[in-house]
Structure 1
C-alpha cells in the first residue's frame, strides 16, 4: 500500500464490509470529508510555495534563471586563456559547491570540463596541501574529462623537476583522439619517454613544448622535441625550442610559430619560405660572427611579430633593420631599450599597427607614426615615468589608444642606477593618475590600465594590504570614473582581484 498520512490511514482502516450499506455510506462521507480537508491543505501549501518562489525571485533572482543561461554564465567564469587548474576555490569546482541545483547544471555543462592544467611533478596545490599526489591526479583527469563528453580537450602538464610515472603518459594516449591543445613543460627524460610511445594527435591544433634544450646540448644522444608527436596533420599553432625548415615541412597548416632558440638565418628562411605563417615569435641567438645579412622582400603575410633577445645582445636591432612588414598589426619587442632601428622599420613598413610592446627609453617619434595604435605596453621606472607621463598627456599621439599596460621596474641597486641621482625615489601614483585623468579628459578612448609592479615593496604586519593606501585611493578614483584597472605584483598577487598565474605557459 502507498504510504499515507496517519489520519487517512485510520479512515481507510474503518471502511466497513461491502454488505453493510449504512456503514459504507457513513464511511464514504468520512472519506469525502478527508479529501476536502487535504485539498484545502494542498491549496494552502501551493499558495505558500508560490509566495516563496516570488520572494526568492525578488531576493535571489539568479536562482530563477533558465538552466541554459546559468550554464552560459558558468562558462564565462572560466579564465579567458582557457587553462583551467582544478581547484575547489575556482570555477568549475567552486560553482558545483553552491547548491544541488547548480551542481547539476555544472556537471552537465560539458564546456566546463574540457581543459585541465596540472602540475604533476610535485603535488596539486589546488587540493588539500600535500594530498594531491600523482596517484590522485590520474583518476581526477579521467573523471574531469569524462564530463566533457565529446567536446575537444585541452591538456597542460607541468613537471620539470621530477620524472613522471608512466601512468601519466597513458592519460595523453587515452585522450589523444580528442585533444585539440597540448602543452608540456617537462624534463628531457619525460619528453624522450613520450617520443618512444609515438602517440598520434590527429586533431590537435595547438602544441607547445617550449622547454629550453640549450642547457642540454651536452647530452650523449641528440634530442629534438619537435619529433615527440610524429602525427599532427591539423597542427596550426606550434611552440617549440628549436626546429629547422625541413622539420617544419610536415606542418602544412601551420599559421603560428614560436621558437625559444633561433638564429637570424633560420628566421629569415622561415619567414620567406612559409607564407602561411601569420604570427611569429622568436628568441634570437647572437650571431657567431659579425657577418652581414641580406634583407628579404616585404613580408606581406606577417600580421604579428614578437622578437626577444638575451641580455646585452643587439640582435633585435639587426632584425628590424632587415625586415619590411607592411601588414603588421602587432609588434612585441622583448628588449631592455628601444632599438634605434625601430623608427626606420615603422616608416619603411607603413603598417597599420594596433598593438605595440616596448622596452624602456621609448621615443615619442615612434608613437607619432602610429595613429592606428589601440594597445600599448611600456616599461618605466620612477625616473622614466616622468617622460612617459608627458607623452601620455599629448592628445594627438596615438589618439585611438584604449588599453595601456605599464611595467614598473625598480632602479635601486640596478645597473641603470645613477650615482648622482636619487634612485630610491618611489613610484608617484598620484602624478601618474593625474596624467591618466588628463588623457581621458582630452581623449576618452583610454578605458583600460594594467600595472605590473616589480619595484621593491616592504610588507607590513599580516593582513596589511600590499598596495599602499594612497595608491589604492588614486586608482579607485579612476575606477569610479569608469576605467578598468588591474594591478599585479610579484607575479602572484593582484588588485582589485588576484591574478591567475596559470595564464602564461609555461
Structure 2
C-alpha cells in the first residue's frame, strides 16, 4: 500500500511539474504578446529591424565610443536591440577619431572597424590646433594604415603637422571615393592620395590643391568652402572631367587690382553640369565666379545670396543647355533681374525655375514675357517663387517694393494658365508644378473669382499647386467679383 501511494505521489508531482512548466510558458507568451501590442517593432524579424536601423540612421553620424547619440544608444534599449545592432555591421562604419582624446581615438578606430566587419569605412580624423593635447600620432598612424584599405570616405580635420606624420606612413587607400581636407594652410606636399584610383569627390577649405596631388582626371565633384576664386579656377583647369562643383567664396577674396593684373583669366570648362555658388551678390562685380568662366555643358545653376542678377553675358558666351535655375536672395533683401527678357530668351531648355524673393518689376516682366509667346521657356514644367509681405532693400537705403501675396498669385496664375501644353501631351497646361510661398505665415489668400476658377481647373488637370506655407491654405475670391 505504501508503494502504491508513493507511485501516485510521483505521478502527481510529474503532472505538477509539467503544469508549472506550461504555466511559465504561458506567462512568457503573455508578456511577449503584451510587449508586441505596446511595441509592434518587437514582432518584426531581426532582419527587418536591422533594415529599419539602417534606414533611420542613413547616412549616419560619425561615432565615438562615448557618444550618447544613436545608433550607439541602441545598445542600451534592450538585449534584443543590442544583439540586432551589433549584428548590423553597416551601423558602425562611420568612425570619429578625436586625436586629442588619446587612447579613446585608438580604441574607437579599432573597435568600430571590428564591429563593421567588411563594410567600407567612413572616417573623420580631428585634431584641435587651438588647444593642443599630447597624443601619439605615430601610434594612431600605424593603426590607421591597418584599416586604410577599407576607407571609402575620409575627412581630414587635422593640423598640418599631423597630416604630414600620417602621410609619412604611406597608407594605402584603394577604396577611397570621397575626401574632405580641412587642415590649415601649409606648403608640405602630401602624397597619400596620389595612388587612390577611385577618388572622385573632393571637399576642401582654405587649401591650395597643388600640395595634395590626385589623379586629377578622376575627380568628378569638387566642393570648395571659403576658398579663393583664383584657387578654384586653377583647380578647374586640373580637373578635365569635373561634373559637379559647389563654391563658397572667401571674404575679400579678390580686389579690382588683382583683376587688372590678370590674376584670374577666363576658364572654359566643357564638362561641368551642375554649379552651386554661394554669396553671388552682383554679377557686375569683377569678383563673381561667372565673370571668369564659360560652362557650355551646364544644366543646373544654383545661386545663393543674390542681389542683382545679370547672367546674360554668361549665358550668351556659354550657350549652356540649362535645365534648372535656382535663385535665393540675400537675407532681408530682394533680387533684381534687370534684363528679364534677354535672360529668358537664352534658356530655351529650362524645365525648373525658382525665383525666390524678386522685386515687383522683375515678377511683372517675367509674367508678361512668359504669357506673350509659347517660345519663351517652352519646356518649363516647375515654377517656384517666394514672396514677402513687406518691402525689402536691395542695398542700404535702396528700397525695392515686393508684390503683395495676393497680387503675386493673380499675376502668376494668369501667366501659368495662359500657357497650354503642346501635343502630344496628355494634359492641358504646360506648367505641372506651381509653388508660391511666403516668408511670413499666411492662412487665407484672397484672389479674384477668375483666378480661383483657374486654380480649380489647373488642379483638375493634375497641376501640383502649393500657394502658401500651409498645405491647407484656403483661397477666397474677392467679394467684388462674386
Number of the residue aligned with 1:167? 136
Listed as ranges, the gaps of 5+ residues in structure 2 are 372-376, 418-428, 446-465, 474-482
Deviations 1:430-463 (A, max 9, x none): 989989x9899997746899x9x9xxxxxxxxxx
Mapping for residues 244-259 of structure 1, pairs under 5 Å? 244=210, 248=213, 250-259=215-224
Mapping for residues 32-181 of structure 1, pairs under 5 Å? 32-80=11-59, 82-86=60-64, 89-117=68-96, 120=99, 133-158=101-126, 159-163=128-132, 165-168=134-137, 169-170=140-141, 171-181=143-153
Q: 1:141 to 1:195 in 2, by over 3 A?
A: closer
Deviations 1:226-264 (A, max 9, x none): 5465542332222342234x9756445322234464555
Contact preservation (8 Å) 1:195, 1:228: yes
Q: 1:385 to 1:59 in 2, by over 3 A?
A: farther
User: SS at 2:198's partner residue?
Assistant: coil
Length, aligned pairs only: 409
Alignment partners' CA distance in 2, 1:91 and 1:61: 20
1:237 to 198, 201, 215: 201
Number of the residue aligned with 2:10? 31
Contact preservation (8 Å) 1:433, 1:478: no
Contact preservation (8 Å) 2:180, 2:203: yes
User: SS at 1:58's partner residue?
Assistant: helix
Alignment partners' CA distance in 2, 1:317 and 1:47: 74
Number of the residue aligned with 2:187? 223
Contact preservation (8 Å) 2:203, 2:222: yes
2:294 to 308, 318, 323: 323
Deviations 1:270-291 (A, max 9, x none): 5466433222345665373426
Contact preservation (8 Å) 2:394, 2:400: no
Q: 1:146 to 1:45 in 2, by over 3 A?
A: same
Alignment partners' CA distance in 1, 2:93 and 2:237: 37
Q: 1:116 to 1:375 in 2, by over 3 A?
A: farther
Contact preservation (8 Å) 1:316, 1:339: no
Cα RMSD, aligned residues only = 5.1
User: SS at 2:187's partner residue?
Assistant: coil
Deviations 1:148-197 (A, max 9, x none): 12111111233342335443543533432221111122233333333444
Alignment partners' CA distance in 2, 1:179 and 1:23: 78
Mapping for residues 394-433 of structure 1, pairs under 5 Å? 400-401=381-382, 416-418=395-397
What TM-score does the superposition give when structure 1 sets the normalisation length? Answer: 0.62
**Which moved further from structure 2: 367-376 or 199-208?**
367-376
Number of the residue aligned with 1:193? 165
**1:114 Cα deviation (Å)?**
0.5
Listed as ranges, the gaps of 5+ residues in structure 1 are 1-21, 122-132, 214-221, 454-467, 483-506
What TM-score does the superposition give when structure 2 sets the normalisation length? Answer: 0.64
Mapping for residues 483-498 of structure 1, pairs under 5 Å? none
Q: Does 1:332 align with 2:302?
A: yes
Number of the residue aligned with 1:491? none
Contact preservation (8 Å) 1:389, 1:432: no
Q: 1:40 to 1:420 in 2, by over 3 A?
A: closer
**1:66 Cα deviation (Å)?**
1.1
Contact preservation (8 Å) 2:189, 2:212: no
Q: 1:136 to 1:118 in 2, by over 3 A?
A: closer
2:242 to 270, 277, 282: 277
Alignment partners' CA distance in 2, 1:37 and 1:194: 70
**1:65 Cα deviation (Å)?**
0.9
Contact preservation (8 Å) 1:67, 1:105: yes
Alignment partners' CA distance in 2, 1:353 and 1:91: 39
